[in-house]
Amino acid sequence: MEPIRRVAIVGAGNMGSGIAQKSAQEGFSVQMIDREEGYVERGINTIKEFLQEAIQRRIFSESQVEAIMANITGVVGADSIHLDTDLVIEAVFEDIEVKSSVLNVLSSSCDEKTIIATNTSSLSVQELSSLSDRPDRFIGLHFFYHPAKNRLVEIIPSSSTSEETIQSVTQYCRAMGKVVILCKDRPGFVVNRFFVPWLNEACRLLDEGLGTPAQIDSTARECFGIGMGPFELMNLTGPSIALHSSDYLSSQLETDRFRGADCLRKLVEDGGQWDLSEASDTTTSECYEKIKNRLLGVIFCVSSQIVEEEICSLEDVDRGAKVGLRWPIGPFEIANRMGVGTASRIASEYATTAGLEVPRILSDRGSKPFDFNLIDIEVENGVADITFNRPEAMNALNEQVVSQLRDIWDGLEADQNVHSAIFRGAGKAFVAGADIKFFVDKIEGGRIDQIRDFTEMGHAILNRIESSRINTIAVVSGLALGGGLELAMCCKHRIGVRGKTMLRFPETGIGIYPGLGGTQRSVMIAGVECARYSIIGGNWMDSTLSHSIGYLTNIVEFGELEEEIEKIVKGEVGAPGYCYEPRDPDNPLVSQILETYGEGWHDDLVVSPSSTGPFQERQVKLISRNAPISIEMASELIEIASNSRDEPTVGLKSELDGLERIFSTKDALIGLKGVLNGDRVRFFGE
């Protein structure tokens, strides 16, 4: 499989320019193409405006924006596409005839190896594929607006799309930090299949006089825990889009219930928007219940249809709602919270009203809650590919995730055919630590013993991964924080991606210490000084520094990732093991770390700070913000790691034994709640 490096986007409108911007941000060489110079210039200016806003918000620096823009070339005419382009994404108007004419031009202007993708939210990929001269290298993509910000993308193969094309395009999307849903080519795909009928059902409620737009929005916000109701959303995206999507879905599914409601049709004809100025309180409790149950009913029914038709998994339905629509929880999680029996009744009532069949996934389930797989696994030719797939929470570790990892590992170790295991994370993170809310809930509930139980379970599985006969590979292609970094450290190989990987132990800055072996394995891998730098200082470490320290065993470009993994699986790349010293002590930054965090570091940085230069000054500043008790306990644990090299279990047990003390401090609760609330906190050493 050849990695995608050069991309062309046909269509410089809002979607096309957004896809071009995101691709350029992630280092791809991009041509943005339209039929007239004015359209191309407008697309370029749109990108510049977004990036200027990013500078103002301190997301990018001026130099970073210059580098991004240098990756984009504006071009007139699809016949100007570079012959060495790997992927062309058609992102023109959502009309089959318009797309057909563009695809016809692309067939003659693209090299035969080039993959062609259509960006569509509703049109049949199978039908569009038949218009292409390369059905095996044709695929559907559904980027969500705004493509540079929204992390979800649906990938839709046709029946002719090759496996190699699917893998190449999936890798391209993942290189951009996208959360990928691979789904069947069915009308509406995944998210729009349930979201468009939900919007239309809100309009039907208005037609029936059950509430005003403001009242229906208010009920929807409360019921789904969302920031904007259906009418406010339609005002933002355009009522005409909602009408077009509703009519198209109704036609394709032959379901009259989904046809655009009368009030929506009239609003579009008049060119208006919904009036949300009226009072938002529901007039009676009866109206509230009817609005709530109808909006829930359509979601439960259609989401269940998606799963029954095997378009995607129930986990991906919920993922689509949380990542694509930014709902706090997805349809099946809502059903679990309210009780599956109640959800089934609401779905049945809606199905009767709408003239639909009640999906058996609900009607036959009784009251049994839905189970969610938070880790995906594929095993092929002795290689297990394990993906932490909880991107809406940056793949954070909680009891369910750790329990599922334990069960997966039991199965892999029992299978003697499995010789290698690859750990990955969906979205922009590998694993971003442990679930903070879990800790807060247990502290406030007086159940610190359950934090110990959870951590002990984590220790057990990480120790097994570390000592396993299986060749383990952590693909750290994004963020790895706290527990995620501790998980990676258990693996024999830890691959980082140049310019994308960032590692950090944030614990002492939130009132605790790394408790899943981090205080021990950081010393075992890189030595005491580097362990202090990363844990006591809580410093961010990019891919280059992480490799020089030793936390990463390999660093590659994203396009070289699969090739590097293959070499490791074949045994062509050796694992360094535990060296108790950094890989490259001569690296200038590592040299400063060794000097600053060597003997006497505590006096120089904590007791009586005295700056000897910018590096030490920064370390003093970082440490001064961290929790004193956390610093003290982490320091002690690091010393234990250094002094118990022949018996590393001593330090691991000490980590567990200190949990009750650290989680009983006021600073721990202050720090953890500060993370949840996004507050900057001050510690008191209590």
pLDDT tens per residue across span 588-615: 999 999 999 999 999 999 988 876 789 9
Catalytic one of 94, 154, 201, 392: 154
- Whether 626 is catalytic is no
The answer on pLDDT for 42 being more than 70 is yes
Ramachandran category for residue 287: left, alpha or beta (phi over 0 → left; psi -120 to 50 → alpha):
alpha
By three-state DSSP, how is residue 209 classified? coil
The answer on pLDDT for 527 being more than 90 is yes
Average pLDDT over residues 271-294: 83
**pLDDT band with cut points at 50, 70 and 90 for residue 280:** low
How much is the pLDDT for 197? 97
Catalytic one of 23, 168, 192, 539: 192
Catalytic one of 26, 109, 142, 293: 142
| Distant-in-sequence, close-in-space partners of 576: CB < 8 Å, separation ≥ 6 | 550, 553, 583
The yes/no answer on whether domain 6-182 falls in CATH 3.20.20.70 is: no
Each residue's pLDDT tens digit, 501-512: 999 999 999 999
What does the longest C-alpha to C-alpha distance in the chain come to?
A: 79
Average pLDDT over residues 297-313: 96
- Sign of torsion over alpha carbons 590, 596, 600, 605: negative
Residue given tokens 């009866």 in the structure block: 286
Which DSSP symbol is given to 281?
S
Average pLDDT over residues 304-324: 96
- Whether 121 is catalytic is yes
**In this structure, are strands 29-34 and 72-76 parallel, antiparallel, or unpaired?**
parallel
pLDDT over 90 percentage in the chain: 90
Average pLDDT over residues 545-573: 95
Average pLDDT over residues 640-665: 95
156 forms beta bridges with 140
At the topology level, CATH places domain 191-363 in N-(1-d-carboxylethyl)-l-norvaline Dehydrogenase; domain 2 (1.10.1040)
pLDDT over 70 percentage in the chain: 99
> Which helix (H) or strand (E) is 139 found in, with range?
strand 138-143
CATH tag, 375-677 = 3.90.226.10
How much is the pLDDT for 257? 96
Each residue's pLDDT tens digit, 411-430: 999 999 999 999 999 999 99
Whole-number average pLDDT of the chain: 94
**Predicted structure pTM score:** 0.92
How much is the pLDDT for 286? 74
Q: In what order do the strands lie in the sheet with 138-143?
A: 72-76, 29-34, 6-10, 87-90, 115-119, 138-143, 152-157, 179-182
Nearest to 110 by CA among 7, 24, 5: 7
How much is the pLDDT for 610? 75
How much is the pLDDT for 632? 97
Beta carbons of 454 and 438 less than 8 angstroms apart: yes
Residue given tokens 């009784």 in the structure block: 366
DSSP for 54-91, please give it. HHHTTSS-HHHHHHHHHTEEEEESGGG--TT-SEEEE-
Average pLDDT over residues 237-262: 94
Catalytic one of 17, 121, 200, 303: 121
How much is the pLDDT for 285? 61
The answer on pLDDT for 105 being more than 70 is yes
Each residue's pLDDT tens digit, 185-212: 999 999 999 999 999 999 999 999 999 9
**Interior angle at CA 393, CA 390 and CA 397, nearest 5:** 75
Average pLDDT over residues 82-103: 92
Exposure on the CB side of residue 220, measured as CA atoms within 13 A: 28
The answer on pLDDT for 283 being more than 60 is no
The answer on pLDDT for 284 being more than 70 is no
Average pLDDT over residues 138-166: 96
How much is the pLDDT for 122? 85
- Whether 562 is catalytic is no
Each residue's pLDDT tens digit, 327-382: 999 999 999 999 999 999 999 999 999 999 888 998 898 899 999 999 999 999 99
- Whether 642 is catalytic is no
How much is the pLDDT for 331? 97
Each residue's pLDDT tens digit, 461-485: 999 999 999 999 999 999 999 999 9
Average pLDDT over residues 287-305: 95
Residue given tokens 């920064």 in the structure block: 618
How much is the pLDDT for 631? 97
Residue given tokens 């359209």 in the structure block: 39
**pLDDT band with cut points at 50, 70 and 90 for residue 251:** very high
Alpha-carbon distance of 520 to 535, in angstroms, equals: 11
Average pLDDT over residues 254-276: 96
The answer on pLDDT for 452 being more than 90 is yes
Domain boundaries, the chain: 6-182, 191-363, 375-677
Average pLDDT over residues 26-53: 95
How much is the pLDDT for 261? 97
How much is the pLDDT for 2? 80
Helix 14-25 crosses helix 62-70 at what angle (to 10 degrees)? Answer: 110
How much is the pLDDT for 281? 67
